[in-house]
Amino acid sequence: MRRAVSKISEHRILFNRCISTSSPSKEVSEDLLESIKLRIERNRRILQKHSSSHLKAREINASLSNLRQSMASVQKKQKAAFEPPANSIVNIPSQVSIEILGNGTGLLRPCFVLRTPLKTYMFNCPENACRFLWQLRIRSSSVVDLFITSAKWDNIAGISSILLSKESNAMSTRLHGAMNIKHFLECIRPFHDSDYGNCKYPSQVEERPYTMENYEDAGLKVAYIPLNPPLAVGKKQKNEKVNNVDIAFLIEMKEAARRIDALKLLELKVPKGPLIGKLKAGEAVTLPDGRTIQPEQVFSEHKVEGEKPILLVAEFSTEAHARALLDSTAIQPFLNKKKHLDYMVHLSEDSIVNTPTYKELMTLLNSEKTTHLLINSDNPVIPAVESVYKHTRLLRSIAPSLFPALHPLDWSGIITQNEELSQRQDQFVRVAPMQRYWMRKGNSMNEEPIINNLLNSEQELSEEVKELIAEYQKIETGIEKTCEFPKLTFFGTSSAVPSKYRNVTGYLVESSEDSALLVDVGEGTYGQMRTVFGVEGCKRLLVNLKCVLVTHAHQDHMNGLYTIVARRKEAFESLNLPYKPLVLVCNRNVLKPLKTYSICFENIENLLEIVDISRHPLTPPGSPNGPPGKRPRLPSPHLPPSRDILLDLPKSFDKDTWKLDELKAVQVHHTRMANGFVMRVAGKRIVFSGDTKPCDLLVEEGVNADVLVHESTFEDGHEADAMRKRHSTMGQAVDVGKRMKAKHVILTHFSARYPKVPVLPEYLDELNIGVAMDMLRVRFDHLPLISKLLPIYRKVFEPELFELTIKKEQRVLKEKENSERRTHKRAVASTS
């Protein structure tokens, strides 16, 4: 305490020095800012130990306030040095394009980017957006502005992944439009897996709700147009949106900077050097001979051709929202033909587009100069994600019985950024993924074109691999087909974050043709499901989905839950079936973000029957020493070591229909509330470990399992990392399977450092041990086949495995050098 107080004067001097510094943040040391942060954190911890009424605590609190002001000043200078003011012409982009990231079908819901050479503006951020930004060669760090047209999960689900993938020194991310998003992000922040970096978002988040009316930077101006329909007549629906305001965005690019005419510079005898730079920036300069040159005297008369500077982006939840846009004063000049739109991006579904009000809007906005881009789920289904489809086609060429053909079936072609794959319908262009539309073309001749080659050609395999496949097919032919169900499908096998070839955790267990359950639902699970089963098959599966089991609250295990719930409800409506609530089995940490989402955006709790496996005491313990009349405090809920879930399932549970004879939640070693599941489905015992270190209780409860699905985040040699992050290495997972006496072991949940395949040591061949890949779909009597694929994987993925071996040798060598260095330092210290 005294030590912290003695530093108050030092902190004040530091504060005054930062405030008085007038130069940009480039002159402010990064170490200084980091030092201030550390001191604030240290003093905050000290304050927690003392009453706020204590004199010294108040002094420290004042010191903290000064330090916060100091840090804010430094950060303000950093921002001023990095981002030019809105009236600066220096960074007006030379080229601007609309690029389609997701066209509303397949793996991505509707979203697109407005791209400039300096940064990227993203409109809506659905699940998997961060995973597939690389398709357009966009880094998530360049996505600074996110515009959200409607506060619904399809538009915000990918924001947390964008934030987590940024570097710690990245600029603040601005959230434009919809409200309450930052509040929800703060709620889910503690539940991100800490395998990669901290749980905190590395970059700051700035929320700019529609009430701020507009936004302006060096490149464009954006007007926020809130679409608030009149109060509906009749009863409010149980799951109606809490915030019923949609937001349209009217974007106007700033006029492109005129170019300097070299001949005019020669005529006016302007010397080379910084004076020309000032003229480019729009500043007048004084020459050595005393003449003052204005920028207009040296600018070229040529104007940029093909300018299409005005864009309107709109999504309507209902027809009434479309009427609200018609009544908005912001677009009256366009409705009255005084001005015209160059582009309008429509994000509404066809059920809204075909309404009379929408048709009236299109009639009033109709112009030969306007291009209407329609992005929704009725657009052409195109497999734009090259890595997913190519990888699965390769695996399917090896084992077609284990890897199904992905939807759209039999699609073959080349995908470019041109318009060949778009479809014109009336006034609309139904866009395809990756398409690009220029608002300002500039000079793009030097760009390498983006091409996805998804032609359905024969896989190029070596003769050795073909021989191994032939041997595998003989084994497959000899297996007797005795038991189709239960059937397992792996929608995601990556740990913490999705990678180019693997999505995060999601497993489907089908007990029969009419009953299924999900174990964990990471971000993008629904997209993976749709590519495996197709649109109609996905509807039938969701109707048959009885239950979702969530092992713990990390976002890579539950962030896809909201989409599954919403699409399941739509499936019942599409098939004209009465809705049956989905059973959700989870702990209270999973329920926290679920409740926050229902409060902030849309109430989906009424679509669920929740089984909270956190145990609360029935009666609170007495408090004999507490004040009289004070309500006794309940202790924190906890997970019991093992719990029989069948006893807690709702009345809708039908043992014969579900074909579920056993379901236990087993506490495992990961977070404070994490569990695995032991179940008997269609007569077969299946164990899911969830995320965990090797767990004796799981071994005990799952003994003699027919199949163990166990996490294998790290390769052998990373035991220290696995212990620190509470995960398992591959060797540890195999040992659990041996001690459990499991008949089959399937390893999954691999670190993203193994994008295609993990390390495959020889000891995996000793037992029935297999390695899961995304889209693996195996019937029960085909389980022995998974382990037979390992020799083929070692040959097919030989370059990747060789690279992993090199990295391992480099790591071992570095650890050896560090150990020798430490030994040498100790020896020197002991002699001195």
How do residues 661-697 score in pLDDT, each as one tens digit? 999 999 999 988 899 999 999 999 999 999 999 999 9
Cα separation, 232 vs 601, in Å, equals 18
Cα separation, 521 vs 567, in Å, equals 13
C-alpha dihedral sign at 750, 754, 759, 765: positive
Cα separation, 406 vs 489, in Å, equals 13
Cα separation, 690 vs 709, in Å, equals 8
pLDDT single digits (tens) 374-433: 999 999 888 878 899 999 999 999 999 999 999 998 888 898 888 888 999 989 999 999
The candidate with the shortest Cα–Cα distance to 365, out of 348, 340, 347, is: 340
Contacts made by residues 356-360, CB under 8 angstroms, sequence distance 24+: 356/319, 357/319, 357/320, 357/322, 357/323, 357/326, 358/316, 358/319, 358/322, 360/326
Q: What is the largest CA-CA distance in the chain?
A: 97
DSSP run (H or E) holding 492: strand 487-492
In this structure, the strands spanning 642-644 and 660-667 are antiparallel
Phi-psi region of 104 (alpha: psi -120 to 50; beta: other; left: phi over 0): left
CA angle 98, 137, 135 (to 5 degrees): 85
pLDDT of 547 = 97
The candidate with the shortest Cα–Cα distance to 714, out of 747, 756, 668, 742, is: 747
Other CB atoms within 10 A of residue 739 CB: 15
Residue 671, token pair as written in the block? 């977070």
pLDDT of 615 = 67
Q: Which residues contact 537 (CB under 8 A, 6 or more apart)?
A: none
Contacts made by residues 276-282, CB under 8 angstroms, sequence distance 24+: 280/90, 281/88, 281/89, 281/90, 282/89, 282/257
pLDDT of 599 = 84
Cα separation, 315 vs 345, in Å, equals 9
pTM of the model: 0.82
DSSP run (H or E) holding 678: strand 675-681
CB distance 529 to 535 below 8 Å: no
pLDDT of 457 = 78
DSSP run (H or E) holding 586: strand 582-586
Q: What share of the chain is helix, strand, coil (3-state, %, to 5)?
A: 40, 20, 40
C-alpha dihedral sign at 786, 791, 794, 797: negative
Could you tell me how far CA 307 lies from the centroid of its own chain? 34
Q: In what order do the strands lie in the sheet with 120-123?
A: 205-209, 173-177, 143-148, 120-123, 111-115, 96-102, 436-440
How deeply is 743 buried, as exposed, middle or buried, from its count of CB atoms within 10 A (0-12, 13-18, 19+)?
middle
How deeply is 414 buried, as exposed, middle or buried, from its count of CB atoms within 10 A (0-12, 13-18, 19+)?
exposed
In this structure, the strands spanning 310-314 and 343-346 are parallel
C-alpha dihedral sign at 61, 63, 66, 68: negative
How deeply is 815 buried, as exposed, middle or buried, from its count of CB atoms within 10 A (0-12, 13-18, 19+)?
exposed
Q: Which residues contact 698 (CB under 8 A, 6 or more apart)?
A: 666, 668, 676, 678, 687, 689, 692, 736, 740
Cα separation, 212 vs 223, in Å, equals 9
Cα separation, 298 vs 174, in Å, equals 37
Cα separation, 518 vs 528, in Å, equals 13
The end-to-end CA distance of the chain, in Å, is 36
| Ranges under pLDDT 70 in the chain | 1-30, 47-59, 71-91, 168-169, 189-203, 231-243, 257, 302-306, 443-446, 615-639, 832
Cα separation, 156 vs 124, in Å, equals 6
pLDDT of 196 = 38
* Helix 30-48 with 55-82: angle, nearest 10 deg: 150
Cα separation, 329 vs 703, in Å, equals 69
- Give me the amino acid identity at 354: N
